[in-house]
Structure 1
Amino acid sequence: MNCNVAVMLMHDYLDDELTHDDVAELKLHIDACQSCRTRLEQLERTEALTHKLMDSHIAMTPQQSAHLTDRIMSSLPVKRRRTGFASWVRRHPAVSVAAVFALVMFSSFLAMWQQESDLTVRGADLAEVVIEGDTVTVPEGAHVKGDLTVENGKANVLGEVEGDVTVISGSLYQASTAHISGEVKQIDQALDWFWYKVTHSISSLAY
């Protein structure tokens, strides 16, 4: 037990509101800590004086009464009040951990979104895909089997893609000769990118 906890428990101890175990732990700390022992003695003297004045009905002037009140209040340990949010967190630890994990993951993905700038091309069949600089082209007459993903670049689809075409932080040109059998997705916002990364990671784990 540290001194801060001991000071908080002293008032409850004087009011006989502590459990037997808390009393034993508090006494063990006080026996070893001179500072807390002195503090408890001061509180005990203040409480004894208060009871004595109440029992003897000693008449006091308003100034004396105010002075005594100030002494008593200054001697009492300050009790920390638990906020509503803190209490909710203590009652729902699993939800709190999940929320913190989601926040950390989103922050990490957001940092990655801001840092990534290199061209990335992914797909199961890239044999007929032409890459020049930051431009990825599916030539007219070419046939790409499976999904095609282009990050941080330009996608020019002139031929056929038998799957989805996803462009992240880039542009997409689809010619009249192009044919895409799957979905066409352009991701330009961090939140959309985050959701794409999460679903893509889950899909990768599934296979």
Structure 2
Amino acid sequence: MNCNVAVMLMHDYLDDELPHDDLAELKLHIDSCESCCTRLEQLERTEALTHSMMDTRVTISPQQSAQLTNRIMSSLPVKRRRIGFASWIRNHPAVSVAAVFALVMFSSFLAMWQQDNDLTVRGGDLAQVIIEGDTVTVPEGAHLKGDLTVENGKANVLGDVEGDVTVISGSLYQASTAHISGEVKQIDQALDWFWYKVTHSISSLAY
């Protein structure tokens, strides 16, 4: 097993979707490859951080909420035309706390987006997929069943994909003879990436 295939299987392992035979092969590879062992530890820490952030609940007393609002408002420059907005903030402290929490989450995901440069391939039917360097190819004549996601790489779709094709921080080439039955999505901006990660994490928790 090469390292690219091992990294691809790690994501299925973290989602509890890896067949028993593949799990045994992955463990053998990780035991003999220090690089992949380190990569799996990093993915597990990232998964744990994501889940803990999704499970976090902010609970503060009315007095603490008022103190937080006052500190925020006192740090803002005094301008007469903003009095109405400041009053609204004071009357809606829960919204202010939620906005601060969302900003913290977005900042954390943005840091992850800037650091994550490794090729990642996910899908329900990858036996026919060819991975060469940072290029993932669905060869002509192949028929993939299910979605295909390529992160930090190039996707060349020459065959058929019965599902969605998502390319994150990469490029997509679709031949004229290829057919994709689902949506084709390319995610390059941090905000799009953030939203994709949030929805993907929620979907993983749901299953």
TM-score range relative to shorter protein: 0.5 to 0.7
Partner residue in 1 for 2:197: 197
Say if 2:141 is the partner of 1:134.
Answer: no
Where does the alignment leave 5 or more consecutive residues of structure 1 unmatched? 1-80
d(CA) in 1 for partners of 2:125, 2:91: 52
d(CA) in 2 for partners of 1:89, 1:175: 53
> RMSD of aligned C-alpha atoms?
2.0
Partner residue in 1 for 2:157: 157
d(CA) in 2 for partners of 1:189, 1:115: 14
For the pair shown, which has the larger CA radius of gyration, 1 or 2?
Answer: 1
Bigger relative contact order, structure 1 or 2 (CA pairs below 8 A, ≥6 apart): 2
User: Deviations for 1:105-163, whole angstroms, at most 9, x for unmatched residues?
Assistant: 11111111111100000111111111010000001111111100000000000111110
Partner residue in 2 for 1:103: 103
Partner residue in 2 for 1:4: none
Q: CA deviation at 1:203?
A: 2.2
d(CA) in 2 for partners of 1:152, 1:164: 17
What secondary structure is seen at the aligned counterpart in 1 of 2:186? strand
AA matched with 2:91: R
d(CA) in 1 for partners of 2:171, 2:147: 17
Q: TM-score, normalised by structure 1?
A: 0.57
d(CA) in 1 for partners of 2:157, 2:131: 12
What secondary structure is seen at the aligned counterpart in 1 of 2:166? strand
AA matched with 1:191: L
Q: Alignment identity in percent?
A: 90
- Count of equivalent residues: 127
Where does the alignment leave 5 or more consecutive residues of structure 2 unmatched? 1-72
d(CA) in 1 for partners of 2:174, 2:130: 15
